[in-house]
Chains A and B, each alone.
Chain A
Amino acid sequence: MTITHHPDDDVLAAYAAGTLDDGSAFVIAAHLAMCGACRSAVRDFECIGGVLLGETEPSRLGRAHDGAVMQELAAPQELRRKLAVTTAPDTAVDNLISIFGQSSWKWRGFGVHSADIGVPVDNGMRVFLLKAAAGTRMPQHTHSGVELTLVLKGAFQHEFGRFEPGDIEMADGDIDHRPIVDAGSECVCLVAMNGRLQLHGLVGRLLQPFVRI
């Protein structure tokens, strides 16, 4: 798998710092499962946390805690549910979905279905799977918020490039695009987004009331 579109470094840094919102963190985690280069970058960035932790002025520990901690060490370890180890992107996302749950597919207009993922939202970020039939032409649109799209299956392209499995697209109000799904196969994406799609053109404006993405 050759991945050409990666998240921006500031997003990977926020992921490493643990400050990304849940929805984006979910999509980034799924991308990392597929992308060795970005996993490696996150590991480098986590090292910043290590260096700064080492430089942090230590706080005095207030209470007598040694006893309690030592007791805890002796306690039997709870068995953590071991998730299937996988390299296949589909399975990595399946793992995530098996934890968070997925609603059934719903029709969203223009050959597109979506299914919500039960990731708790903050910042109004929603996470869902998007499935578009082969050859679907989405209307020209932009976004009222931000959108992270990770391709899981199939491919689409638009003015800014071609997106295949593992590729991630970051779009916001500055990006105005018109994705076209490859003719050969349906396309399934994992999406985190806040705000709404904003359609352009006469047809778009007529469609807007019916579009629920």
Chain B
Amino acid sequence: MHGPGSGPLEFLGSRLARRRMSKDSEKQKQARDQARLIADVAMRKDRQAFVSLFGYFAPRIKSLLMRGGAPAEMAEDLAQEAMISVWRKASCFDPARASPAAWIFTIARNLRIDVARRSQREKVYAVLETVEPDGPEQPDAIITASQRESKVREALNILPPEQLEVVRLAFTEGMSQSEIAEALKLPLGTVKSRTRLAMTRLRQKLEEVR
């Protein structure tokens, strides 16, 4: 009889867990480094720091916008525009509130809304950015942005495929719920309930650190 934790399966399991853990801490380190680069841009107008951020994010934003239906050239122009916003708004970045990737995602998201010729809506988001929190924003002080990101990543990793699919289509392809319903030939209600289940899973994961 093997004792707990001594069998080959357990050994493999713990190695996998360790590998996953080290991948996660790698991601967390990357997020911290990126946050530092943004701070350098904000404080010293550090162009070298900006070039590093550009090199990582611009090609990914371009992909994101192309998935959302923008032609390559337009996606590239917009990716540049997004990065110029990063340069200009760097001082608004609050590492306690968002990870660099999440923050840059919101910039790209607002640009994508522009692409869809719904340019007015960016104003709605702009208003929201300027509205100061009314009342406590949940006990976020105890969870850092990089903890949040790693929990969100964990939650995405364990989502059932059908839930992950609707989440991906919304966040990376920029599809509305009814567009997703049409694409997957599902009732709108199913898209909504799958999204809600996914968000519940995410909330549960985040509860672990709150």
Name A's B-contacting residues (CB within 8 A). 1, 8-10, 12-14, 16-22, 25-26, 29, 32-37, 39-41, 43-54, 56-63, 65-66, 68-70, 72-73, 77, 80, 82-83, 85-89, 92, 95-96, 99-100, 119-120, 122
Interface size class of B (residues with CB under 8 A): 35 or more
A40–B140 touching, CB < 8 Å: yes
A14 CA / B194 CA spacing, docked (Å): 12
A77–B88 touching, CB < 8 Å: yes
B110–A18 touching, CB < 8 Å: yes
The listed residue (B84, B123, B137) touching A99 by CB distance below 8 A is B123
Q: Which 3 A-B pairs have the closest CB atoms?
A: A50-B102, A58-B59, A50-B101
Residues of B within 8 A of A29 (CB): 124-125, 127-128
State whether A61 and B136 are in contact (beta carbons under 8 Å apart), knowing that A22-B120, A53-B101 are contacts in the complex.
no
A50–B135 touching, CB < 8 Å: no
Least CB separation from A26: chain B residue: B124
A86–B131 touching, CB < 8 Å: yes
Residues of A within 8 A of B135 (CB): 1, 36, 87
B37 adjacent to chain A (CB < 8 Å): no
The listed residue (B76, B124, B153, B177) touching A19 by CB distance below 8 A is B177
B156–A20 touching, CB < 8 Å: no
Residues of B within 8 A of A26 (CB): 121, 124
A-B contact count (CB 8 A): 225
What is the minimal beta-carbon distance from A14 to any residue of chain B, in angstroms? 6
B131–A9 touching, CB < 8 Å: no
B195–A18 touching, CB < 8 Å: no
A44 CA / B67 CA spacing, docked (Å): 23
Residues of B within 8 A of A21 (CB): 176
The listed residue (A13, A39, A61, A122) touching B62 by CB distance below 8 A is A61
State whether A20 and B128 are in contact (beta carbons under 8 Å apart), knowing that A14-B170, A87-B134 are contacts in the complex.
no
A39–B123 touching, CB < 8 Å: no
A65 CA / B79 CA spacing, docked (Å): 11
Residues of A within 8 A of B112 (CB): 18
Residues of A within 8 A of B109 (CB): 17-18, 46, 49
Least CB separation from B120: chain A residue: A120
Residues of B within 8 A of A35 (CB): 134
76-111 of chain B: CB within 8 A of chain A: 76, 79-80, 83-84, 87-88, 97-106, 108-110
A120 CA / B121 CA spacing, docked (Å): 8
29 A-B residue pairings within 8 Å (CB atoms):
A14-B177, A17-B174, A18-B109, A18-B110, A18-B174, A22-B121, A29-B124, A29-B128, A34-B134, A36-B138, A46-B105, A47-B149, A48-B152, A48-B167, A48-B202, A49-B102, A50-B102, A51-B156, A54-B27, A56-B60, A58-B62, A59-B62, A61-B58, A63-B76, A72-B80, A73-B84, A85-B130, A86-B132, A122-B118
